[in-house]
Amino acid sequence: MVKTKAVMIGAGLSNMAAAVYLIQEGHWRGENITFYGADMHGANDGGETKDFSDEYWNKEHPLDNRTGYVARGGRMLNYRTYVDLMDLLDRIPSATEAGMTAAEDTRDFDAHHRTYDIARLMEGGKGIIDGGKLGLNNKDRVLLSKLVLMPDEEETKLDNVTIAEYFKDDPHMFQTNFWYMWETTFAFRIQSSVQELRRYMHQMIYEFTQIEHLVGVNRTRYNQFESMMLPLINYLKDEGVTFISNRIVTDWEFADSAMQDEITVTGLHVKNVEDGTEELVDIDDDTAVIFTNGSITDSATMGDYNTPAPENMEYGISAALWKKATERFYNLGTPDKFFDDRKNSEWVSFTLTTKNHLLLNEITRITTQVPGNALNSFISTTPITPLGQKDVNMSIVVHHQPHFTTQKPNESVIWGYFLYPRRQGEFVHKQYIKMTGKEMAQELIGQLSKVDPGPNNIKNHEAEILDSIVNNIPVYMPYASALFNNRAKSDRPEVIPAHSTNLAFTGEFVEQPYQMIFTEQSATRSGEIAAFHFAGVPMDNLVDTPRYDKDPKTLMRATKKMFS
């Protein structure tokens, strides 16, 4: 049903994409679009610590020294697959590079700073591991091939099947270099959905042949708030779009209809985060409601150098609103599949800022590569899983510096994460989730010392490195991997649910044909679909999704790589 106005619940990438397409393809006036959100950037954040609102910080230990930088997470781009994202960024000006679109800015930077990681895997006592040797045996190859070759119409056979269950007769898979690289590149766990693994294998099959170097990874000039979100915000504000921050939509008003399954939103209950007051926002017949129904950074908390990030046990605010809609209508998915199982979705990340380049130079020496190319995983030499197997301890990303526009020339910023935050540190003997920023830095130095145990060991410089740290911000994210949680295909709503007259769902918790979640591609695509639907733009005008899994040459190269 064609509309002329829109209310956006959530101000992340998907809804901002929807707004751009409504304006440019639907020829809407920007003043007819209003955003409500707790913040105005979504999960693609990044900035100085002082810029983050109080809701994220450790309430029990007030932080007086809010210095340094923080990004709760980071995203890798891929031009060949992220076609909708690049189309979107080509429509808006860069926020930092005059005369360029945001897409031209990213392509220009990436052309001069190509990714070629030669230290993709590192292991204590062995140093850099040759990730090009995937380590697959014939059983691994057969099971992976079955996933890739499975027809789309048979995908529901993988409903509610975990990766561990799919490979239950093949534990060897989880001790291969392939798995270590896949696990840390995309943040899969063995308890994640094998349906999602299949989609990644389909859409990223050409990366299979070069995963050890990540040459297909493209990066933005700066952090993704300044290089992607800020251009969107600037453009939409210039077009007259209204952004109302510190607001949470807490409940719905739906029309009573003779058709019990017809979904028509008539009002939204909106809470002011600052003073707790609530108002009812009426939704008229000309207005669409476009809702991002889940966020991987909901309920995130932060610590600092001397305090760990506390656990926030609140159910995600966007998922809570989604859940209220599912209590009324049967075809809107199952939020609890994603937001009621933290043990399989939580992460702890950290953003480390230094006042000199000593740590950066040590990482450069150990990995034998310059900043901007490294996505390094450290693998324990001792069994750390319940099965007595080795696995990844931690991962770091060393971006090209500066990573923030306000970063000083003498400062370095490094990001890292623990995919399994309940595991025990090897050098700081407590769970990662309970570590302060200082202790995470000590664990990082210890892990690097295992990789390079010679006379120039980084441990010799530990005191000096710790003294150089301006801050190290631990971030607890209970839902960071929630989008990979085990589920059935019907557990996510479609962008435009059946019988909906004015409600659309966007983001990483919606069901889209062929799309793989946890990507700016799927987020942008969902917003594009919602915009086209409500603006009356034919779906044939959507950006074409490439299907590399149908290309014989790509499949042949992937098959050859399996035997490396």
pLDDT, residue 58, reads 67
pLDDT at 209 over 90: no
Cα–Cα distance measured from residue 153 to residue 245, given in angstroms and rounded to the nearest whole number: 42
pLDDT, residue 61, reads 59
What pLDDT band is residue 86 in, cutting at 50, 70 and 90? very high
With beta carbons less than 8 A apart as the criterion, state whether 221 and 405 touch: no
Least confident of 60-69, 179-188, 204-213, 506-515: 60-69
The candidate with the shortest Cα–Cα distance to 504, out of 5, 29, 9, is 9
SS3 45: coil
pLDDT at 404 over 80: yes
Cα–Cα distance measured from residue 376 to residue 426, given in angstroms and rounded to the nearest whole number: 18
Over residues 24-29, mean pLDDT: 98
pLDDT at 62 over 60: no
Over residues 391-419, mean pLDDT: 91
The candidate with the shortest Cα–Cα distance to 58, out of 348, 351, 303, is 303
Percentage of residues in the chain having pLDDT higher than 70: 94
- Reported as a single tens digit per residue, the pLDDT across 44-56 is 888 998 877 776 6
**N-to-C CA span, the chain:** 53
Q: CB burial class (10 A; 0-12, 13-18, 19+) of residue 509?
A: buried
pLDDT, residue 385, reads 42
Mean pLDDT, the chain, integer: 91
With beta carbons less than 8 A apart as the criterion, state whether 42 and 295 touch: yes
The candidate with the shortest Cα–Cα distance to 131, out of 216, 213, 217, 215, is 213
Of 56, 200, 420, 432, the active-site residue reads 200
- Reported as a single tens digit per residue, the pLDDT across 329-343 is 999 999 999 999 888
SS3 10: coil
Cα–Cα distance measured from residue 287 to residue 499, given in angstroms and rounded to the nearest whole number: 16
With beta carbons less than 8 A apart as the criterion, state whether 407 and 401 touch: yes
pLDDT at 381 over 50: no
**More confident call, 254 vs 454:** 254
Residue 315 annotated to the active site: no
pLDDT, residue 1, reads 82
Report residue 322 as tokens: 């989604």
pLDDT, residue 170, reads 97
pLDDT, residue 315, reads 94
pLDDT at 375 over 70: no
Strands lying side by side in the sheet with 127-129: 127-129, 121-123, 374-379, 392-398, 412-418, 347-354, 469-477, 301-302
The candidate with the shortest Cα–Cα distance to 498, out of 330, 255, 285, 265, is 330
